[in-house]
Structure 1
Amino acid sequence: MKAVRGHEGRPVVVDVDDAPGWDDDELLTMAVAGICASDLNYLRLGTRFILGHELAGRKADGTPVLVEGLFGCGECGFCREGRNNLCDQSTRKALGIMQNGGMVEQFRVPAHKVLDLPKGLDVSNASLAEPDVTNAPT
């Protein structure tokens, strides 16, 4: 399958054998990935990972979803409150720089990071959403 990986400061399209991500989690068929200043900085800093942390796709049953692209440890008080952006592990788990992101045809994502789209939001625009997970079920 095709993916976009950092290589020598530039994005390149490569073939990968398997869907990157977490083994036993939700397999999404990716529909769209945003490109932001963070991605450009990751490239400049020399990332060799698959890019992409602003992501939307479809579950196996066709349901359109977006991915909350900021990962923390999942265990500290901040993560339990839905404020994983304050977790001291969040930068170490950054999609696209510290681990593979979702700019790939299929991506495995922890189920608790997969959110249904709000009514009226088309999947083609969903990578621009900024999910509010502070009220998400735990």
Structure 2
Amino acid sequence: MSAPTMRAAVLTAPGECSVQRVPAPRAAAGEAVVDVERVGVCGTDVEFFTGEMAYLHEGHAQFPMRLGHEWAGVVRAVGDGVDPVWIGRRVMGDTMLGDGTCRRCRRGHQHVCARRQEVGIRGGRPGALAEQLAVPVTSLHELPDGVDPVLGALVEPGGNALRAAQAAELTPGDRVLILGPGTIGLLTAMFARAAGAEVHLMGQTGASLDFARSVGFASAWTEQQLPDLPFDAVIDATNAAYLPARALDLVEPAGRVVYIGLAGTPSQIDTRWLALKDVTAVGILSASPGLAATIAAYAARQVDPRPLVAATVGLDQVGAVLAGERIPGAGPGPKFHVDPRTR
């Protein structure tokens, strides 16, 4: 009897993505197998598709690989040592899988473990752009009834955005400028608005700024249009190498700058101005510490990111999405979702 197989999107080289039949996962000890319902495609996935992702050049990842780290699904099976009560639960999962033994992991910082795996990204751990996914049960977060698969697959990017908004330490009446109206920038704006801040967004294209206005952010500007206002915090959610320095220029003395975007080339700030302006600078990597709070915020309807999803496609269209094609009939939002069950 042949081993069971499943459909998965496999990236075999830069620019080469196809749907293949691969062995279906089996739950190892401590793991769960999840039937994947929804997966988000993000900028990191695109960098792997183009071959620009640093992990490819640093030896942390290699082709062939299966992408997908923003996901939601239902637990199908569990391995040895896992309580079977997990079976049938609706879940999403942490991307960062620390080794569990190093000093960082023991201190609760598994997302910066030097030996970590990252689901669909690093260390050979297959991602969720497939019909099923196997992950450690310790990485799972149960989704309440009010958080459907669309929201579930938006928890991971939402956790990053929540942490960025929290790092800005916003209080009601504060004015925050968010650089970049992409998925992370808009999610950050939503969490900042929920905290009572006056939110401004800066972007480049008219279409992205128009979309930001359509979801309630009237103060959306190009760099040339940006009003001369005091910003208590500036959050850089872009990949532009010059904007980290611009963020420091724009923030008020004694304010905070938060860096969640990553440029493809080194960016620089003048630390003399950081000191002379008495500014606090914070870097954010990973949603891990913010996942539970993001689920709670979605469940309570404090933040509703559903309008960000432009379209949901099947595995056969993953390559086109990664290549930047605009799927016919897609809405104006920046995020594409994949339903692996769709043929």
TM class, shorter-length: 0.7 to 0.9
- Match of 1:79? 105
Shift of 1:56: 1.1
- Give the TM-score of the pair, scaled to structure 2: 0.35
1:6 aligns with 2:32: no
1:96 aligns with 2:102: no
1:82, 1:133 within 8 Å by CA — same for their partners in 2?
no
> Which residue of 39, 45, 57 corresponds with 2:45?
39
Shift of 1:95: 2.4
1:63 aligns with 2:69: no
- Give the TM-score of the pair, scaled to structure 1: 0.81
Q: Which runs of 5+ in 1 are unaligned?
A: none
1:129 aligns with 2:146: no
User: Could you tell me which amino acid in structure 2 is paired with residue 108 of structure 1?
Assistant: A
Q: Which runs of 5+ in 2 are unaligned?
A: 1-5, 52-61, 77-86, 160-286, 293-343
**Distance change in 2, residues 1:88/1:108 (3 Å):** same
Larger Rg: 2
Moved over 6 A (4+): none
1:55, 1:69 within 8 Å by CA — same for their partners in 2?
no
**Structure-2 separation of matches of 1:117 and 1:40:** 27
**Distance change in 2, residues 1:82/1:12 (3 Å):** farther
**Structure-1 separation of matches of 2:90 and 2:12:** 30
User: Could you tell me which amino acid in structure 1 is paired with residue 7 of structure 2?
Assistant: K
1:29 aligns with 2:35: yes
Q: Tell me, what secondary structure is at the counterpart of 2:138? A: helix
Higher RCO (CA 8 Å, separation ≥ 6 residues): 1
- Deviation per residue, 1:33-69 (Å, 9 max, x gap): 1111111112223631111111211013432100111
2:96, 2:288 within 8 Å by CA — same for their partners in 1?
no
2:11, 2:67 within 8 Å by CA — same for their partners in 1?
yes
**Structure-1 separation of matches of 2:24 and 2:35:** 13
**How many residue pairs end up in the alignment?**
133
**Structure-2 separation of matches of 1:75 and 1:12:** 37
**Structure-2 separation of matches of 1:89 and 1:33:** 25
